[in-house]
Structure 1
Amino acid sequence: MSAYVISEVDDVRDPAGFEVYRTIAAKTIAQYGGQYLIRGGAADLIEGGPPPKTIIVVEFPTLERLREWYASPEYAEALKVRQTAFDRRLIFVDGVLPV
């Protein structure tokens, strides 16, 4: 069953670092079988709040594979850059089981 990473990027402090992060992250996501479904498109707030920031959604084949990616030495390089480049909320979501 697919699993998803939902990232809400907030407060980019270092645009150059953000680009370095994106490059490394994209390579590692592909390496671990992930694919981008949403990568920063326009988001409209319909209900609730606060207003959405930049939203990224990545699909992985399984939650286990997603967790392997996040804990991988390859992605650790991106995480080092992220710490000083930008803030975000990161959510892991297991896919829906068939009914």
Structure 2
Amino acid sequence: MSAYAISEVEMRDAADFESYRSIAAKTIAKYGGRYLVRGGPASLIEGSPPPKTIIVVEFPTMERLREWYVSPEYDEALKLRQTALDRRLIFVQGVAPV
């Protein structure tokens, strides 16, 4: 069953942000993930505060998503994240197809 990494990010440093994005994209693909949303325009319909940049990545399973997050390949991106961006990161289990 699919699992999703949902991030709400705010860029802190443009150069580090681009490096982070490049490394993260390669590692996501290696672990079977694919971007569903990657920073397109977001409209607040209900609630607050206004959304920041939203990223949604689908992985084949929650296990694969968790493997990606703790992988040595993604560790390099995590180190950059400290200066590149502020983030809220949520892992969500998908639903079984009907």
TM range (shorter): over 0.9
Q: Which amino acid aligns with 1:47?
A: E
TM-score between the two structures when normalised by the length of structure 1: 0.96
Residue 72 of structure 2 corresponds to: 73
Q: Which amino acid aligns with 1:88?
A: R
* Residue 39 of structure 1 pairs with residue 38 of structure 2: yes
Give the CA deviation at 1:98.
Answer: 4.2
> Following superposition, which runs of at least 4 residues in structure 1 exceed 6 angstroms of deviation?
none
Residue 48 of structure 2 corresponds to: 49
Secondary structure class of the residue paired with 2:32: coil
TM-score between the two structures when normalised by the length of structure 2: 0.97
Residue 15 of structure 1 corresponds to: 14
Backbone CA RMSD of aligned residues: 0.9
**Percent pairwise identity:** 80
Q: How many residues align?
A: 98
Secondary structure class of the residue paired with 2:7: strand
Q: Which amino acid aligns with 2:76?
A: E
Residue 4 of structure 2 corresponds to: 4
Residue 86 of structure 1 corresponds to: 85
Give the CA deviation at 1:85.
Answer: 1.2
Gaps of 5+ in 2: none
